[in-house]
Amino acid sequence: TSFGFEQVGEGEKQTRVDEVFHHVADRYDVMNDLMSGGMHRLWKDAFVAWLNPPQGGRVPFKLLDVAGGTGDISFRVVERSRKNAHCTVFDINGSMLGVGKDRAKENGLISNLEFVEGNAEELPFEDNSFDAYTIAYGIRNVPRIDKALSEAYRVLKRGGRFMCLEFSNVDMPLLDKAYDLFSFNAIPAIGDAVTGDREGYEYFVQSIRKFPNKERFKMMVEDAEFQQVSYRNLSGGITAMHSGWKL
Ligand code: SAM
Protein backbone atom coordinates (compact mmCIF):
# COMPACT_ATOMS: atom_id res chain seq x y z
CA THR A 1 0.00 0.00 0.00
CA SER A 2 1.21 3.49 -0.72
CA PHE A 3 -0.21 6.49 1.07
CA GLY A 4 1.91 9.20 -0.62
CA PHE A 5 2.82 11.62 2.12
CA GLU A 6 4.99 13.87 -0.05
CA GLN A 7 4.11 17.56 -0.07
CA VAL A 8 0.51 17.53 1.02
CA GLY A 9 -1.70 20.20 2.59
CA GLU A 10 -3.29 20.05 6.03
CA GLY A 11 -6.63 18.46 5.09
CA GLU A 12 -4.80 16.00 2.92
CA LYS A 13 -2.33 15.17 5.68
CA GLN A 14 -5.20 14.29 8.02
CA THR A 15 -6.72 12.01 5.37
CA ARG A 16 -3.44 10.12 4.95
CA VAL A 17 -3.01 9.76 8.71
CA ASP A 18 -6.54 8.37 8.91
CA GLU A 19 -5.80 5.83 6.18
CA VAL A 20 -2.71 4.60 7.98
CA PHE A 21 -4.55 4.06 11.28
CA HIS A 22 -7.54 2.39 9.59
CA HIS A 23 -5.10 0.09 7.90
CA VAL A 24 -3.15 -0.86 11.06
CA ALA A 25 -5.91 -0.68 13.73
CA ASP A 26 -6.06 -4.41 14.48
CA ARG A 27 -2.24 -4.73 14.52
CA TYR A 28 -1.59 -1.41 16.23
CA ASP A 29 -0.88 -2.84 19.69
CA VAL A 30 1.52 -5.49 18.37
CA MET A 31 3.32 -2.86 16.29
CA ASN A 32 3.85 -0.68 19.35
CA ASP A 33 5.46 -3.56 21.20
CA LEU A 34 7.67 -4.52 18.27
CA MET A 35 8.89 -1.04 17.47
CA SER A 36 9.53 0.12 21.00
CA GLY A 37 10.67 -3.23 22.38
CA GLY A 38 7.78 -3.01 24.84
CA MET A 39 9.04 0.36 26.12
CA HIS A 40 5.83 2.19 25.21
CA ARG A 41 4.15 0.37 28.12
CA LEU A 42 6.63 1.85 30.60
CA TRP A 43 6.36 5.33 29.07
CA LYS A 44 2.57 5.19 29.34
CA ASP A 45 2.85 3.97 32.94
CA ALA A 46 5.16 6.89 33.77
CA PHE A 47 2.79 9.32 32.09
CA VAL A 48 -0.22 8.12 34.07
CA ALA A 49 1.85 8.09 37.26
CA TRP A 50 2.67 11.77 36.72
CA LEU A 51 -1.00 12.55 36.07
CA ASN A 52 -1.75 10.71 39.30
CA PRO A 53 -5.56 10.61 39.08
CA PRO A 54 -7.29 10.70 42.49
CA GLN A 55 -8.33 7.33 43.88
CA GLY A 56 -11.80 8.04 45.15
CA GLY A 57 -13.70 11.23 45.88
CA ARG A 58 -17.23 12.59 45.87
CA VAL A 59 -17.42 12.86 42.11
CA PRO A 60 -15.63 10.90 39.40
CA PHE A 61 -12.44 12.33 37.93
CA LYS A 62 -13.30 13.25 34.36
CA LEU A 63 -10.62 12.64 31.76
CA LEU A 64 -10.70 13.43 28.07
CA ASP A 65 -8.17 11.16 26.32
CA VAL A 66 -7.69 12.74 22.90
CA ALA A 67 -6.24 10.65 20.07
CA GLY A 68 -7.01 7.89 22.56
CA GLY A 69 -6.83 5.19 19.88
CA THR A 70 -7.26 1.73 21.34
CA GLY A 71 -7.47 3.06 24.91
CA ASP A 72 -4.02 2.47 26.43
CA ILE A 73 -3.99 5.69 28.46
CA SER A 74 -7.63 5.54 29.57
CA PHE A 75 -7.33 1.92 30.72
CA ARG A 76 -4.37 2.85 32.89
CA VAL A 77 -6.14 5.89 34.33
CA VAL A 78 -9.23 3.86 35.24
CA GLU A 79 -7.07 1.22 36.90
CA ARG A 80 -4.78 3.61 38.74
CA SER A 81 -7.76 5.63 40.02
CA ARG A 82 -9.33 2.40 41.32
CA LYS A 83 -12.23 3.05 38.99
CA ASN A 84 -12.80 6.55 40.29
CA ALA A 85 -12.07 8.00 36.84
CA HIS A 86 -14.51 8.31 34.00
CA CYS A 87 -12.62 8.51 30.71
CA THR A 88 -13.74 9.62 27.30
CA VAL A 89 -11.60 7.97 24.65
CA PHE A 90 -11.74 10.41 21.77
CA ASP A 91 -10.31 9.67 18.33
CA ILE A 92 -10.84 10.65 14.72
CA ASN A 93 -10.64 7.01 13.71
CA GLY A 94 -13.56 4.64 14.27
CA SER A 95 -11.43 1.55 13.60
CA MET A 96 -9.03 2.36 16.45
CA LEU A 97 -11.97 3.09 18.80
CA GLY A 98 -13.62 -0.18 17.77
CA VAL A 99 -10.54 -2.18 18.81
CA GLY A 100 -10.47 -0.22 22.09
CA LYS A 101 -14.13 -0.90 22.81
CA ASP A 102 -13.66 -4.65 22.33
CA ARG A 103 -10.65 -4.61 24.66
CA ALA A 104 -12.62 -2.67 27.28
CA LYS A 105 -15.35 -5.30 27.25
CA GLU A 106 -12.74 -8.02 27.72
CA ASN A 107 -10.91 -6.32 30.58
CA GLY A 108 -14.05 -5.26 32.45
CA LEU A 109 -13.37 -1.51 32.33
CA ILE A 110 -16.15 -0.60 29.90
CA SER A 111 -18.46 0.99 32.48
CA ASN A 112 -15.84 3.67 33.21
CA LEU A 113 -15.29 4.46 29.56
CA GLU A 114 -16.97 6.23 26.71
CA PHE A 115 -15.83 6.21 23.09
CA VAL A 116 -16.39 9.28 20.95
CA GLU A 117 -15.32 9.87 17.37
CA GLY A 118 -14.15 13.32 16.31
CA ASN A 119 -11.34 15.75 15.55
CA ALA A 120 -8.94 17.16 18.17
CA GLU A 121 -9.14 20.50 16.39
CA GLU A 122 -12.88 20.83 17.07
CA LEU A 123 -13.95 19.09 20.23
CA PRO A 124 -17.69 18.36 20.53
CA PHE A 125 -17.68 19.13 24.28
CA GLU A 126 -18.75 22.09 26.38
CA ASP A 127 -16.38 24.61 27.93
CA ASN A 128 -14.97 23.80 31.39
CA SER A 129 -16.09 20.19 31.44
CA PHE A 130 -13.03 17.99 32.18
CA ASP A 131 -10.56 17.62 35.06
CA ALA A 132 -7.78 16.48 32.76
CA TYR A 133 -6.94 16.24 29.09
CA THR A 134 -4.37 13.76 27.81
CA ILE A 135 -2.96 13.26 24.34
CA ALA A 136 -0.45 10.43 23.92
CA TYR A 137 1.44 9.99 20.66
CA GLY A 138 -1.33 11.88 18.95
CA ILE A 139 -0.56 15.59 18.74
CA ARG A 140 2.20 14.98 16.19
CA ASN A 141 -0.47 13.77 13.77
CA VAL A 142 -2.76 16.75 14.19
CA PRO A 143 -2.32 19.24 11.31
CA ARG A 144 -3.08 22.42 13.37
CA ILE A 145 -1.50 21.88 16.77
CA ASP A 146 -2.38 25.39 18.00
CA LYS A 147 -6.07 24.66 17.37
CA ALA A 148 -5.87 21.40 19.29
CA LEU A 149 -4.18 23.19 22.22
CA SER A 150 -6.76 25.97 22.39
CA GLU A 151 -9.55 23.39 22.29
CA ALA A 152 -7.85 21.54 25.14
CA TYR A 153 -7.80 24.77 27.13
CA ARG A 154 -11.45 25.50 26.39
CA VAL A 155 -12.87 22.14 27.54
CA LEU A 156 -10.81 21.93 30.74
CA LYS A 157 -12.23 23.17 34.02
CA ARG A 158 -10.34 25.84 35.98
CA GLY A 159 -7.71 23.87 37.87
CA GLY A 160 -7.73 21.26 35.12
CA ARG A 161 -4.58 19.75 33.72
CA PHE A 162 -3.24 19.29 30.21
CA MET A 163 -0.78 16.46 29.60
CA CYS A 164 0.94 15.37 26.44
CA LEU A 165 3.12 12.31 25.79
CA GLU A 166 5.08 12.42 22.56
CA PHE A 167 8.27 11.29 20.85
CA SER A 168 10.90 13.95 21.11
CA ASN A 169 14.46 15.01 20.43
CA VAL A 170 17.10 12.70 21.87
CA ASP A 171 19.76 14.77 23.56
CA MET A 172 22.15 12.12 24.80
CA PRO A 173 25.37 11.58 22.83
CA LEU A 174 25.65 8.09 21.28
CA LEU A 175 22.02 7.33 22.05
CA ASP A 176 21.07 9.88 19.39
CA LYS A 177 23.22 8.06 16.80
CA ALA A 178 21.83 4.65 17.71
CA TYR A 179 18.33 6.04 17.65
CA ASP A 180 18.85 7.52 14.17
CA LEU A 181 20.08 4.20 12.85
CA PHE A 182 17.18 2.38 14.41
CA SER A 183 14.50 4.76 13.30
CA PHE A 184 15.59 5.29 9.70
CA ASN A 185 16.31 1.61 9.03
CA ALA A 186 14.62 -0.76 11.44
CA ILE A 187 11.27 0.99 11.88
CA PRO A 188 10.29 1.15 8.18
CA ALA A 189 11.50 -2.45 7.77
CA ILE A 190 9.46 -3.77 10.69
CA GLY A 191 6.47 -1.70 9.54
CA ASP A 192 6.80 -3.17 6.06
CA ALA A 193 7.08 -6.73 7.35
CA VAL A 194 4.07 -6.54 9.66
CA THR A 195 1.70 -4.22 7.79
CA GLY A 196 3.08 -4.08 4.24
CA ASP A 197 3.16 -0.32 4.60
CA ARG A 198 6.76 0.88 4.50
CA GLU A 199 5.80 4.37 3.44
CA GLY A 200 3.41 4.83 6.33
CA TYR A 201 6.23 4.08 8.74
CA GLU A 202 8.71 6.29 6.90
CA TYR A 203 6.17 9.04 7.39
CA PHE A 204 5.98 8.09 11.06
CA VAL A 205 9.76 8.54 11.48
CA GLN A 206 9.72 11.84 9.57
CA SER A 207 6.84 13.15 11.65
CA ILE A 208 8.89 12.61 14.81
CA ARG A 209 11.79 14.60 13.31
CA LYS A 210 9.51 17.44 12.31
CA PHE A 211 7.78 17.77 15.66
CA PRO A 212 8.98 20.79 17.73
CA ASN A 213 11.63 20.09 20.36
CA LYS A 214 10.80 20.06 24.07
CA GLU A 215 11.48 23.74 24.71
CA ARG A 216 9.56 24.84 21.65
CA PHE A 217 6.60 22.64 22.40
CA LYS A 218 6.60 23.99 25.95
CA MET A 219 6.28 27.50 24.49
CA MET A 220 3.39 26.39 22.29
CA VAL A 221 1.58 25.05 25.34
CA GLU A 222 2.23 28.37 27.11
CA ASP A 223 0.92 30.26 24.06
CA ALA A 224 -2.36 28.40 24.53
CA GLU A 225 -2.51 30.08 28.00
CA PHE A 226 -1.59 27.06 30.10
CA GLN A 227 0.41 27.84 33.23
CA GLN A 228 3.19 26.14 35.18
CA VAL A 229 4.18 24.29 32.04
CA SER A 230 6.95 21.76 32.52
CA TYR A 231 8.27 18.62 30.93
CA ARG A 232 10.07 15.42 31.81
CA ASN A 233 12.26 13.22 29.63
CA LEU A 234 11.85 9.48 29.36
CA SER A 235 14.59 7.19 28.04
CA GLY A 236 17.07 9.97 27.27
CA GLY A 237 14.44 12.09 25.57
CA ILE A 238 13.24 9.51 23.03
CA THR A 239 9.92 10.38 24.57
CA ALA A 240 8.90 13.41 26.60
CA MET A 241 5.86 14.38 28.63
CA HIS A 242 4.57 17.93 29.01
CA SER A 243 2.21 19.16 31.68
CA GLY A 244 0.34 22.45 32.07
CA TRP A 245 -2.56 23.82 34.10
CA LYS A 246 -5.60 25.93 33.35
CA LEU A 247 -5.54 28.23 36.35
N1 SAM B 1 -3.10 7.37 22.51
C2 SAM B 1 -3.03 6.05 21.91
C3 SAM B 1 -1.78 5.34 22.42
O4 SAM B 1 -0.95 5.99 23.03
O5 SAM B 1 -1.65 4.13 22.17
C6 SAM B 1 -3.06 6.09 20.38
C7 SAM B 1 -1.93 6.82 19.71
S8 SAM B 1 -1.92 6.60 17.97
C9 SAM B 1 -0.18 6.63 17.63
C10 SAM B 1 -2.43 8.14 17.31
C11 SAM B 1 -3.94 8.31 17.22
O12 SAM B 1 -4.23 9.68 16.87
C13 SAM B 1 -4.62 7.46 16.15
O14 SAM B 1 -5.57 6.63 16.76
C15 SAM B 1 -5.27 8.49 15.21
O16 SAM B 1 -6.49 8.06 14.67
C17 SAM B 1 -5.44 9.67 16.13
N18 SAM B 1 -5.61 10.96 15.45
C19 SAM B 1 -4.90 11.44 14.40
N20 SAM B 1 -5.32 12.67 14.07
C21 SAM B 1 -6.33 12.99 14.95
C22 SAM B 1 -7.15 14.14 15.11
N23 SAM B 1 -7.04 15.21 14.31
N24 SAM B 1 -8.07 14.12 16.11
C25 SAM B 1 -8.20 13.05 16.92
N26 SAM B 1 -7.43 11.94 16.81
C27 SAM B 1 -6.50 11.90 15.83
CATH assignment at residue 60: 3.40.50.150
Torsional sign, CA 64, 45, 52, 144 = negative
Mean pLDDT for the stretch of residues 12-37: 84
97, 89 Cβ separation under 8 angstroms: yes
Expressed in angstroms and rounded, the spacing between residue 179 Cα and the centre of ligand 1 is 23
Which candidate, 161, 135, 137, 65, places its Cα nearest to that of 104? 65
Hey, which of 21, 95, 211 would you mutate to test ligand 1's pocket, going by the most ligand atoms within 8 Å of its Cβ? 21
Residue range of the domain that includes 24: 10-172+212-246
The answer to whether residue 107 sits within a structural domain is yes
The dihedrals phi and psi of 187, each to the nearest 5 degrees, come to -60, -50
Whether ipTM exceeds 0.95: yes
**Parallel/antiparallel/unpaired status of strands 130-136 and 239-246:** unpaired
The answer to whether residue 188 sits within a structural domain is no
Total of domains in the chain: 1
The answer to whether residue 180 sits within a structural domain is no
pLDDT in tens, 129-145: 999 999 999 999 999 99
Q: What pLDDT shows up at residue 25? A: 84
DSSP the chain: -----TT--HHHHHHHHHHHHHHHGGGHHHHHHHHHTTHHHHHHHHHHHHH---S--SS-EEEEEET-TTSHHHHHHHHHTTT-EEEEEEES-HHHHHHHHHHHHHHT-GGGEEEEE--TTS--S-TT-EEEEEEES-GGG-S-HHHHHHHHHHHEEEEEEEEEEEE----STTHHHHHHHIIIIIHHHHHHHHHS-HHHHHHHHHHHHHS--HHHHHHHHHHTT-EEEEEEEEGGGTEEEEEEEE-
Q: What pLDDT shows up at residue 1? A: 40
Whether 57 shows a pLDDT value over 50: the answer reads: yes
Expressed in angstroms and rounded, the spacing between residue 94 Cα and the centre of ligand 1 is 11
Expressed in angstroms and rounded, the spacing between residue 67 Cα and the centre of ligand 1 is 3
Whether 5 shows a pLDDT value over 60: the answer reads: no
pLDDT band at 231 (very low <50, low <70, confident <90, very high): very high
136, 44 Cβ separation under 8 angstroms: yes
The answer to whether residue 4 sits within a structural domain is no
Residue 91 assigned to a binding site: yes
Regarding predicted confidence, which is higher, 27 or 52?
Answer: 52
The answer to whether residue 192 sits within a structural domain is no
pLDDT in tens, 155-191: 999 999 999 999 998 988 888 999 888 888 888 998 8
The answer to whether residue 42 sits within a structural domain is yes
The answer to whether residue 19 sits within a structural domain is yes
Ligand 1, pocket residues at CB < 6 Å: 14, 17, 21, 66-69, 72-73, 91-93, 96, 119-121, 136-138, 141-142
Residue 88 assigned to a binding site: no
The answer to whether residue 201 sits within a structural domain is no
Ligand 1: atom nearest CA of 135 is 1
